[in-house]
Homo-oligomer: A and B are copies of this chain.
């Protein structure tokens, strides 16, 4: 099988680099173009991107010329992965979809558009049917498919099997988020060292809104939002990678802690069934240690490192009816961003949507 040509938009930033890392050696996709802002355009990738990751930059991308972010630059790419800032994405992504590309986007710009699928492949793969609606309405040959913001992905993955088995009425989450979530230069060391910053712009809004769409039911041409009350309080802590979420959940039906652990442990989704290349064997790993999960370890969890989330400390919550509480931690840049888009594209390929 010939590989599918793909491109990465915004390839020099932190999420862009994760895309490059995940795609450099991908069994289905062939990385053909890297774009960035004008400032970087024309340079070889090795020079344009200050590489932040371990392992080092893949050899064969070092000499790829970074192109300006434009339709022309990605002309030959069937799938375009987007790590663009929201304001740029809002212009560029629709244009590319109109030009026939499948845009797998990590940007927030179009996530909440009615006809744009907002997908976690293990949670709501059926929402991809919105692509048809989108094409019909907009007259596009291509399409835009989005994944949620990092925090949302991490706790909604853990919420899904609980919702399916016991029903969920309310969710309150308090987050302890990694600095990488703000981009490389996003958080000065003078700000966060020996400190907590109890605010992340727009994060609470996204974490309260996106889950309702993801967990909503597709009825005809639209998604009916889930009837769950969600509240988020989002905080930055001095951790490089790995968002940790303390969740308090009011269930519809009483559940034993052991039963909750079991449904989480047994949870598998479409990506596991289809054995997608970037799908971890177990999307949710339940750890027993009383001091788990910890982001320094959870950030690499899973058979595909960084693609599983780790749940721990499941216990009764005495402030909510049928309350349980737990912790969940996962890699914000992989499962929470670049890996999420790649998994979306893999799902589309496997479902013959490419």
* Residues of chain A whose beta carbon lies under 8 Å from any beta carbon of chain B: 14, 52, 54-56, 170-172, 174, 176, 179-180, 184-199, 208, 229-231, 233, 235, 237-240, 244, 246, 248, 290-297, 300, 312-313, 317-320, 323, 325, 327, 329
Q: Indicate which residue in B176, B192, B229, B325 contacts A196 across the interface (CB closer than 8 Å).
A: B176
**A220: min CB distance to chain B, Å:** 28
Q: Do residues B320 and A170 form an inter-chain contact, with CB atoms below 8 A?
A: yes
Q: Do residues B184 and A188 form an inter-chain contact, with CB atoms below 8 A?
A: yes
Q: Indicate which residue in B184, B231, B313 contacts A317 across the interface (CB closer than 8 Å).
A: B231
Q: Do residues B246 and A318 form an inter-chain contact, with CB atoms below 8 A?
A: no
Return chain B residues, CB-CB under 8 Å to A235: 176, 244, 246, 327
**A133: min CB distance to chain B, Å:** 29
Q: Do residues B198 and A244 form an inter-chain contact, with CB atoms below 8 A?
A: yes
Number of copies of this kind of chain in the complex: 4
Q: Do residues B199 and A290 form an inter-chain contact, with CB atoms below 8 A?
A: yes
Q: Do residues A246 and B198 form an inter-chain contact, with CB atoms below 8 A?
A: yes
How far is B193's CA from A188's CA once the two chains are assembled, in angstroms? 10
Return chain B residues, CB-CB under 8 Å to A329: 196, 198
Quick one: closest B residue to A50, CB to CB?
B289
How far is B296's CA from A237's CA once the two chains are assembled, in angstroms? 12
**A254: min CB distance to chain B, Å:** 16
How far is B110's CA from A187's CA once the two chains are assembled, in angstroms? 33
Return chain B residues, CB-CB under 8 Å to A194: 193-194, 238-240, 296
